[in-house]
Structure 1
Amino acid sequence: MLKQQLRAISSLLSSITLIGICVGMTSTLLSLRATIEDFGTLTTGVIMSAYFIGFLFGTTRAPKDIKRVGYIRAFGGLTALAAVSILMQAIWVDPTVWFVMRFLTGFAISGIFVIVESWLNTMADNKNRGTLLSVYLVLIYGGLVAGQLVLGVADPTGFIAFGIAALLLNLALIPILISVTVEPTTHESRKVPIFSLLKLVPLGIVNAFIMQACYAMFYAIGPMYATYIGLSVMQVVIFMASFILGGMLAQAPIGLLSDRHDRRMIMAVCAGAGAVMAFILSQLGPSVVWLIYVCVALFGAAVLPLYSLGMAHTNDFLEKDQMVGATGAIIKVGGIGSIIGAPAVAALMQFGAVNYFFLLIMVLALIVCGYSLFRITRRAKPEDQASSSFAMLGPSQTSEELLTTLADEQEYIDELASQEVDTHDEGEEAKPG
């Protein structure tokens, strides 16, 4: 079954691999180039946060684009926009222009991720969702590693590195546009407000917020941190590549393990291991660079799978027509965490608190670990979608999943609360949250 699904979406996975290479290049490229141009730590942090602001807005737009023009055409338009925004950063090296272009890049990339992840979720079930999402993320991480290696031989002060990134985005259009892949139908969707999703699957929302904040800290400020502690440009590239490589190698085994055991326990173990490695990294200096590479790879292996684990855990309680809205909502929450994460740690470093970089990440990982263990005590492991309490909620036809007003969300929550009262006498296992 899984092999058939992978063959059916091979063109989609090929395209997302090329996009992963581009994303891996541009994040480190811009951080290094901003250091070379002497933009300053705080300014660089704000510029890099623009990507995540755009990411947030992209999650709002993508579900509407999917509804209006379909998965493939929406994918094509957003990929072209990302290529243009990257080229503009090479042509016009200015903090204000870079802020705007990073916003557009984040907007486009987040829309692409919503399209791809909701597409994959509609093809998966609870028995293989963790594995399928892990395969997808392994390909992305493989692309991110390749992007670091490409950047290692491309001069960050010139145009070529930016040109390669834009070229890869254009190449990513080809597999999707010339394939015979059948995209999922988009005529039905169910409203999934963030507040109600937080009530029904709180761990998925909390995990997305915290871990995306951690990822933003590492991708945006990690190269600058490595430079500040004394690593060379090539060592910075290896530092970043080691982090991504660790996550790539661990993604599939951890995803498979989560399909066989309680995902929350796997999340707790991963987050706890990530906190330990973050503490060790906070104590290491450039004199033991090989040990830094090993520890940062183990750190990536622990924390990078947490996003897909949280996404899979959330979708365990959803029906297929809820997954576009829920995917967008989760990415939206993660985008908020990213917007906060990068500038916060950049501000700390601006005022000399370099040693707090990994210590802050350690604290955030410990919160995810503790909350995962807490949720195990509050809710039984889901068996399948058909028996989950979330699946019993009635549908609400709308294409505005991510533009729901607070009043609409409160009405939805009130309806859920009344269902909880009605089903309370049927036994504790039927109670959501």
Structure 2
Amino acid sequence: MLKQQLRAISSLLSSITLIGICVGMTSTLLSLRATIEDFGTLTTGIIMSAYFIGFLFGTTRASKDIRRVGYIRAFGGLAALAAASILIQAIWIDPVVWFVMRFITGFAISAIFVIVESWLNTMADNKNRGTLLSVYLVLIYAGLVVGQLLLGVADPAGFMAFALVALLINLALIPILISVTVEPTTHEPKKVPIRSLFKLVPLGIVNAFIMQACYSMFYGIGPMYALYIGLSIAEVSLFMASFILGGMLAQAPIGLLSDRFDRRIIMAACAGLGAVMALILSQLGASLVWLIYLCVALFGACVMPLYSLGMAHTNDYLEKDQMIGATSAIIKVGGIGSIIGAPAVAALMQFGAVDYFFLLIMVLTIIVCLYSLYRVTRRARAEDQLTSSYAMLGPSQTSDELLTTLVDEHEYQVEQAATEATEETDSEEPKSSSPG
């Protein structure tokens, strides 16, 4: 079943891999170029946050584009917009222009991610959702690694690196536009307000907010931190690539574990180990560069799967027609976290607290770890996950949750019985009124 699903969306996965290369290359490229242009740490942090502000707005627009023109054409238009914004940044080196263009890039990329993740979620079920999302993210992370390594070939101080990003975004259009892939039917999805989603799956919202804040800190300010501790530009590329490579290699195994065991336990374990690695990294200097690469790879292996785990955990409790709305809501919450994350750590670095970079990330991952464990005590696992022969039963629901479930079930049965009785009455009335 999983192999058939992967074949059906192979063109989509090819396109998103190329988008991943561009995303990975652009973030580090702009951070390094801003340092070369002497924009300043705080200004750079604000510019990088513009991407996530655009990300936030893009989540709102994506579902409208899907309904209006379909998945494939929406993907094509947004990719073209992203390519144009990258080229403008290469032509016009100015903090204000970069802020606006980063906003546009974030808008386009976030809408693309909503399109792709909604498409994938409509094709998955609770038994293989974690695995399918992990394959998707492995390909993105592979692209991110390649994007980091391309910076070793393209000089961030020149035009070529920007042109290469724009070229790859345009190439990403080819697989999805020329394929015979049948896109999902674009029916009217249910709206899922953030407040309602938080009541239904609070861990998914908290995880998205905190982890996207951590990611924005690392992608936006991580290259500057690496330069600060004494790494060269080539070593910075390897530093970032190690982080992404670790996440890529760990994604599939952790996704498989999350399909067999309680996802919240896996999330807690990943977040806890990530906090340990962040603490170790906060104590390392450039003299131990290979140890830094190893530790940052282990750090990436722990924290990068957390987003997909949270997304899979959230969708375990949703209906199919809720998934587009829920995906938009989760990415929107993550966008808010990203907007806060990069400028916050940039402000700390601007005022001399550079050594707190990894310590702040450590605190955030500890929060995810503890809250995941807390949620295990408050709610049973999603029902479909309990069918696995390898599954461990989660703790029982609390009395309040159990009572709520029983009341809802009773009300549902009463409504169904009333509906059936009404239908039977309506069907019998013509017979009684007809002659002999």
TM-score of the superposed pair, with normalisation by structure 2? 0.89
In 2, Cα distance between equivalents of 1:420 and 1:129: 29
- Give the match for residue 225 of structure 2: 225
Deviation at 1:189, TM superposition (A): 1.0
What secondary structure sits across from 2:383 in the alignment? coil
Deviation at 1:426, TM superposition (A): 6.5
- Give the match for residue 192 of structure 1: 192
Computing the radius of gyration from Cα coordinates, the structure with the larger value is: 2
Note the residue ranges of structure 1 that are not aligned, 5 or more in a row: 388-416, 428-433
Matches within 5 A, 1:257-406: 257-384=257-384
- Give the match for residue 139 of structure 1: 139
From the superposition, tell whether residues 373 and 422 of structure 1 become closer, same or farther in structure 2 (CA, over 3 Å): closer
CA contact (8 A) 2:260 2:385 kept: no
Q: Confirm whether residue 38 of structure 1 aligns to residue 38 of structure 2.
A: yes
What secondary structure sits across from 1:254 in the alignment? helix
- Give the match for residue 172 of structure 2: 172
Deviation at 1:65, TM superposition (A): 0.4
- Give the match for residue 129 of structure 2: 129
- Give the match for residue 235 of structure 2: 235
In 1, Cα distance between equivalents of 2:384 and 2:188: 21
In 2, Cα distance between equivalents of 1:188 and 1:87: 36
What secondary structure sits across from 1:152 in the alignment? coil
What secondary structure sits across from 2:170 in the alignment? helix
Deviation at 1:16, TM superposition (A): 0.3
Matches within 5 A, 1:12-91: 12-91=12-91
TM-score of the superposed pair, with normalisation by structure 1? 0.90
- Return 70-79 or 188-197, whichever deviates more: 188-197
In 1, Cα distance between equivalents of 2:348 and 2:274: 21
CA contact (8 A) 2:127 2:385 kept: no
Deviation at 1:191, TM superposition (A): 1.6
Deviation at 1:242, TM superposition (A): 0.1
From the superposition, tell whether residues 92 and 380 of structure 1 become closer, same or farther in structure 2 (CA, over 3 Å): same
What secondary structure sits across from 2:172 in the alignment? helix
In 2, Cα distance between equivalents of 1:120 and 1:385: 18
In 2, Cα distance between equivalents of 1:246 and 1:128: 22
In 1, Cα distance between equivalents of 2:122 and 2:404: 31
From the superposition, tell whether residues 123 and 287 of structure 1 become closer, same or farther in structure 2 (CA, over 3 Å): same
Deviation at 1:186, TM superposition (A): 1.2
Deviation at 1:176, TM superposition (A): 0.5
CA contact (8 A) 2:274 2:299 kept: yes
What secondary structure sits across from 2:323 in the alignment? helix
In 2, Cα distance between equivalents of 1:38 and 1:422: 58
In 1, Cα distance between equivalents of 2:154 and 2:34: 16
Structure 1 residues 148-187: Cα deviation after superposition (integer angstroms, max 9, x where no partner):
1111111001000000000000000000000000001112
CA contact (8 A) 1:8 1:181 kept: yes
- Give the match for residue 395 of structure 1: none
- Give the match for residue 113 of structure 2: 113
In 2, Cα distance between equivalents of 1:426 and 1:112: 38
For 2:203, give the aligned amino acid: L
What secondary structure sits across from 1:74 in the alignment? helix
| Segments ≥4 residues shifted beyond 6 Å | none
Structure 1 residues 386-429: Cα deviation after superposition (integer angstroms, max 9, x where no partner):
99xxxxxxxxxxxxxxxxxxxxxxxxxxxxx9x975834879xx
In 2, Cα distance between equivalents of 1:141 and 1:15: 13
CA contact (8 A) 2:31 2:44 kept: yes
In 2, Cα distance between equivalents of 1:74 and 1:385: 33
- Give the match for residue 159 of structure 2: 159
CA contact (8 A) 1:154 1:160 kept: yes
For 1:231, give the aligned amino acid: L
CA contact (8 A) 1:317 1:385 kept: no
- Give the match for residue 150 of structure 2: 150
From the superposition, tell whether residues 199 and 42 of structure 1 become closer, same or farther in structure 2 (CA, over 3 Å): same
CA contact (8 A) 1:247 1:303 kept: yes
In 1, Cα distance between equivalents of 2:82 and 2:385: 36
In 1, Cα distance between equivalents of 2:306 and 2:139: 16
What secondary structure sits across from 1:88 in the alignment? helix
RMSD over aligned CA atoms reads 1.8
From the superposition, tell whether residues 259 and 235 of structure 1 become closer, same or farther in structure 2 (CA, over 3 Å): same
Deviation at 1:188, TM superposition (A): 2.7
In 2, Cα distance between equivalents of 1:128 and 1:66: 24
Structure 1 residues 26-82: Cα deviation after superposition (integer angstroms, max 9, x where no partner):
000000000000000000000000000000000000000001100000000000000
CA contact (8 A) 2:259 2:385 kept: no
What secondary structure sits across from 1:355 in the alignment? helix
- Give the match for residue 411 of structure 1: none
In 2, Cα distance between equivalents of 1:153 and 1:236: 13
In 2, Cα distance between equivalents of 1:346 and 1:320: 40
CA contact (8 A) 1:319 1:385 kept: no
- Give the match for residue 431 of structure 1: none
What secondary structure sits across from 2:187 in the alignment? coil
What secondary structure sits across from 1:277 in the alignment? helix
In 2, Cα distance between equivalents of 1:384 and 1:122: 16
- Aligned-residue sequence identity (percent) comes to 84
What secondary structure sits across from 1:20 in the alignment? helix
In 2, Cα distance between equivalents of 1:384 and 1:193: 24
In 2, Cα distance between equivalents of 1:311 and 1:221: 25
In 2, Cα distance between equivalents of 1:67 and 1:213: 30
Structure 1 residues 84-120: Cα deviation after superposition (integer angstroms, max 9, x where no partner):
0000000000000000000000000000000000000
For 1:423, give the aligned amino acid: L
In 2, Cα distance between equivalents of 1:377 and 1:77: 45
Note the residue ranges of structure 2 that are not aligned, 5 or more in a row: 388-399, 411-436
From the superposition, tell whether residues 385 and 229 of structure 1 become closer, same or farther in structure 2 (CA, over 3 Å): closer
CA contact (8 A) 1:318 1:385 kept: no
In 2, Cα distance between equivalents of 1:84 and 1:188: 31
In 2, Cα distance between equivalents of 1:152 and 1:24: 13
In 2, Cα distance between equivalents of 1:115 and 1:15: 12
In 2, Cα distance between equivalents of 1:383 and 1:423: 15
In 2, Cα distance between equivalents of 1:325 and 1:281: 38
